[in-house]
Amino acid sequence: MNESILKTKLVNDKRIFIWLIAALVGITIIYQLRPFLDDEQFMWISIPTYSIIPGLLTFFTLRLAIKLRHVNSSHAKAFAIFALGSAFWFIAEQIWQLYDHVWSGDPFPSEADIFYIAAYPCHIAFLLIYLKPTFKKINRNVWFFAIALAFSFLIPSLLASYDDMQGEDIFPTSIALAYPILSSVQLIPAIVGVMYLIKKPSNFSWMLILFGFILYNIADTYFLFAELDGSYYDGHPVDLIFVYGFIFFIFAFYHHSKFINIFHDKDTLFSDKVQFETITKFGIPLTVSIVCMVILITLIYSTFNEVNQDISANFFFGIVTILGVLAVVVITINKNLSRLVKMRTSELVVQRDNLENLVEEKTRQILKSERLSAIGELSGRLAHDLRNPLSVMKMSLELIKQSPSDSKISDSTITKRIDLIEKSIDRISHQVDDVLGYVRISPLNLTNVSLVEVIESSLSKINVPSDIEVSIDKNDIKINCDIVKLDAVFINLIVNSIQEMHQGGKIEIKISEKDNFVEMQFIDSGNGIPDVDIKKIFEPLFTTKQKGTGLGLASCKNIIEQHHGEISVKNNPTTFTIHLPKMISSLSVKN
């Protein structure tokens, strides 16, 4: 899921959220006209509301089910079942409107009750099918909490219904008891879904669906107590809560339809690709908004409608129960969110620390492995390279021993053999120094010195052939450095340049500064470095010389980097460039 698509989805979610709030506020404002209108006048609001909105819900649900069927989604069946339940709602509402406004009488149970009851199994089946992928991920405590919360709705509703239906026939009593029982059963998976939404970020449409079910169940309980108490009338605040639930469903299915068009994903709501903090961004603001609107509506109706003056204790008990349960849900959500954020933050801190330690340990292991590997490879090369000078030294000593007793050291033959021994010792010493210089990385011993003086000191230790001219830029700059280590770098670079100029030439050393850095360039007029070798020239053990160890330039690179600097090389002419900070703190030295 690329970034542009995620941005498109987020913009789409925010736009739909704004329209949802606008729809809720709009219908709420319209319903506030009820205290000022009589039944016949308000009929022109209630009939269109309960005809158009349930009709739109059935249309959007059926359209979504068809779309999901076309993309072979496993959720098509679930939405088809919900569409059937929505159709039952729509039919029940129209029958209710006919009995309320056209036909005389208000029978119980009526045909509308049959369709209302038939809608519950459809919606329960929808929730169970949709939640099936999460069953293994949901803790048993969540199920116990959901069942306990549903029972808090069921027990007072069931007792009040049974008490009201005493002396009635079995069939109407069964219908009356079926309402609170089925409503509570429907509430259980809805609460489980909300808890899952808190535990794992999910899709915006899934949140709206769950909130729609929670609102519908609250309205169910509210309506039951209003009916039993005799305080219900057309345009009662509970009607508005039912409408809220329908609107939530409509926007949920519209959003899910748009979601399919963007992602072309057949199982989007539970896809791991959807990582979206739905409950934080939209759930809590919606919950607070709805609670505020319901409380405001109840206060308005209590003030302006005389019916509310005769509300009995049972009705107040029902209202207190509903608000109490809603408060428990909100507090539980908020508590779990806070706990989840703390847990997730702690997990991320631990993961970060573990990763940092792991990276540091792996880096040390890699460096150790590289050095051990280099030492292992070097051992074989040293065994070969040291054998020749040692053989020369041994042979020269044997010949010296075999010389006549009256021979003097000043004899040309003896002198020649001693020179061979001396050169062989120098060669061995050079190779051993290269190895020790690469393997041993000791702390820097920093001193503030003149660069020109260090370079001149290095030159004094080198036997420069007469046919090679060395020029040093007199632009003297003082820097903080380890004199011994930097001296080794300069000697190595100058000696390498001399060895590449077999017929003489020129070495030019330039010094310049920029800001807090100094730049040194070692330029020679040699033949240059082959292009195939120039990228590997600082690698350990890489050498083009028969007598070299391949550690000289690698050691130079280590020393420069230990000084927080950089070294590079280029051809035409061959130029080694060093960048070093003029001031380096002993606390920041790399070991």
| Nearest-angstrom CA–CA distance, 71 and 59 | 19
Q: What is the mean pLDDT of residues 27-35?
A: 81
Residue type present at position 471:
S
**Is a pLDDT exceeding 70 seen at residue 11?**
no
Among 48-52, 74-78, 227-231, 265-269, the range scoring the smallest mean pLDDT is: 265-269
Q: Among 549, 547, 568, 548, which Cα is nearest to 557's?
A: 568
| Nearest-angstrom CA–CA distance, 487 and 475 | 18
| Nearest-angstrom CA–CA distance, 272 and 201 | 9
pLDDT in tens, 459-501: 887 878 888 888 888 788 888 888 888 888 888 888 888 888 8
Tokens of 212: 């729609």
| Nearest-angstrom CA–CA distance, 134 and 142 | 12
The mean pLDDT of the chain is 75
Most confident of 319-328, 369-378, 529-538, 568-577: 568-577
In this structure, how many other beta carbons lie within 10 angstroms of the beta carbon of residue 245? 22
Q: How far is CA 215 from CA 71, 167, 236, in A?
A: 31, 32, 15
| Nearest-angstrom CA–CA distance, 266 and 77 | 12
**Is a pLDDT exceeding 60 seen at residue 442?**
yes
In this structure, how many other beta carbons lie within 10 angstroms of the beta carbon of residue 240? 22
The residue behind tokens 């609170």 is 180
Among 107-111, 260-264, 447-451, 531-535, the range scoring the smallest mean pLDDT is: 260-264
Domain positions in the chain: 3-311, 444-588
Q: What are the phi and psi torsion angles at 569 (to 5°)?
A: -140, 150
Tokens of 400: 């010296």
Classify 148 as helix, strand or coil: helix
pLDDT band at 82 (very low <50, low <70, confident <90, very high): very high
Query: What does 448-495 look like in DSSP terms, one character per residue?
Result: EEEHHHHHHHHHHTS---TTEEEEE-----EEEEEHHHHHHHHHHHHH
What single DSSP character describes residue 507?
Answer: E
Residue type present at position 555:
S
| Nearest-angstrom CA–CA distance, 145 and 188 | 9
Q: What is the mean pLDDT of residues 535-543?
A: 74
Distance of CA 249 to the CA centre of its chain: 30
- Looking at per-residue confidence, does 118 or 13 come out higher? 118
Q: Among 350, 573, 582, 334, which Cα is nearest to 478's?
A: 582
Q: Among 549, 563, 453, which Cα is nearest to 509's?
A: 453
Model-wide pTM > 0.75: no
**Is a pLDDT exceeding 90 seen at residue 416?**
no
pLDDT of residue 84: 93
Region 444-588: CATH code: 3.30.565.10
Among 52-66, 141-155, 203-217, 397-411, the range scoring the smallest mean pLDDT is: 397-411
